[in-house]
């Protein structure tokens, strides 16, 4: 049981470490979005994907270890969580304290990543809005308003002014 607990703590520490790496990459990601450095953004995204893959593997490992611990404790087949394990380790205060600390650190790191992801999402939305604004501005600069030319049926002919702009040589 002690070796399983040590392995669980190491796995949770590994997960926390991966979340910390995501947090450290977030500054580069924000700068690349703000300064429109798409090559840097692509590199950061590749690194984030590798970290996400690592997190998935660590999560599977953690769940496997928890199932093993549940089997050792006689709770095989039950839904086992870290919180459940903490509450069932009341007769082992040292392990309970270590597991509580590891859980708190992991939850804090995951919450920090979630907050940063929300901020980055808002930043990306603003960047997209700016691009859409720029596109609209460019399109409108190339188009001139329709003139008030009417045909026989008193309808506008749809004639558009030329794109020469203002003619000052009259």
The CATH number of the domain holding residue 78 is: 1.20.58
Determine, yes or no, domain membership for 165. Answer: no
- Give the pLDDT score at 8: 92
Cα 149 from Cα 124, distance rounded (Å) = 44
User: Model-level pTM?
Assistant: 0.73
Of 3 and 143, more confident: 3
Question: How many of the other CB atoms lie within 10 Å of CB of 158?
Answer: 9
Domains of the chain: total: 1
Determine, yes or no, domain membership for 160. Answer: no
Cα 37 from Cα 29, distance rounded (Å) = 9
Of 73 and 30, more confident: 30
Determine, yes or no, domain membership for 150. Answer: no
User: What is the mean predicted confidence (pLDDT) over 14-43?
Assistant: 92
Look up the domain containing 39 and give its range.
2-142
Residue owning tokens 């593997």: 57
pLDDT digits (tens, 9 = 90+) for 30-69: 999 888 888 999 999 999 999 999 999 999 999 999 888 8
| CB neighbour class for 22 (10 Å; exposed up to 12, middle 13-18, buried from 19) | buried
Return mean pLDDT, the chain.
85
Determine, yes or no, domain membership for 24. Answer: yes
How much of the chain exceeds pLDDT 90, in percent? Answer: 48
Determine, yes or no, domain membership for 167. Answer: no
């Amino acid at each position: 049981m002690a070796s399983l607990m040590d392995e669980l703590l190491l796995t949770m520490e590994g997960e926390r470490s991966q979340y910390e790496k995501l947090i450290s990459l977030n500054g580069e990601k924000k700068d690349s979005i703000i300064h429109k450095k798409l090559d840097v953004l692509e590199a950061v995204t590749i690194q984030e994907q590798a970290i996400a893959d690592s997190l998935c593997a660590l999560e599977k490992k953690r769940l496997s270890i928890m199932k093993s611990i549940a089997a050792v404790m006689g709770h095989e087949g039950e839904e086992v969580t870290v919180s459940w394990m903490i509450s069932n380790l009341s007769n082992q205060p040292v392990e309970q304290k270590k597991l509580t600390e590891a859980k708190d650190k992991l939850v804090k790191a995951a919450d920090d990543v979630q907050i940063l992801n929300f901020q980055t999402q808002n930043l990306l939305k603003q960047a997209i809005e700016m691009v859409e604004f720029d596109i609209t501005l460019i399109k409108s600069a190339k188009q001139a308003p329709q003139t008030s030319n009417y045909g026989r049926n008193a309808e506008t002919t749809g004639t558009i002014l030329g794109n020469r702009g203002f003619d000052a040589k009259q």
